[in-house]
Amino acid sequence: MTLKDLIPIFALFGFIFSLACIICLLIFAGEAIREVIRRQRIRYKQQHRFDKPPLAKCYCVDCRKFNQASGECRVIGLCMAEDWFCWSAEPVKEGKI
């Protein structure tokens, strides 16, 4: 086998290596773009998280599960501030406790 016979084999190896490098670069570029987009979405959500008011049924002070004497929530067993609210709040009906 002479050197002239090996030239097409080396050319094929060079082409495959170049193609593999291009594919790797495209994958890395795609991942970098995806990461930038993810960070921008997180940043946008953080900047706009207070645009809408919270949709609470009532605050803890108005909830039937809130113990006025101790300031404790009967559901989770923690001391709660009167101006907090949670998803399981049940407003006290007028005249009923």
Q: How far apart are alpha carbons 88 and 57 in whole angstroms?
A: 9
Q: 3-class SS at 60?
A: helix
Against a cut of 0.75, is the pTM above it? no
Closest CA to 84 of 64, 53, 62, 51: 62
Helix (H) or strand (E) holding 42: helix 3-47
Q: How far apart are alpha carbons 84 and 30 in whole angstroms?
A: 43
Tokens (6 digits) for 64: 């039937």
pLDDT score at 88: 74
Query: How many C-beta neighbours within 10 Å does residue 21 have?
Result: 10
What tens digit of pLDDT does each residue of 14-64 get? 999 999 999 999 999 999 999 999 999 999 988 887 787 766 667 777 778
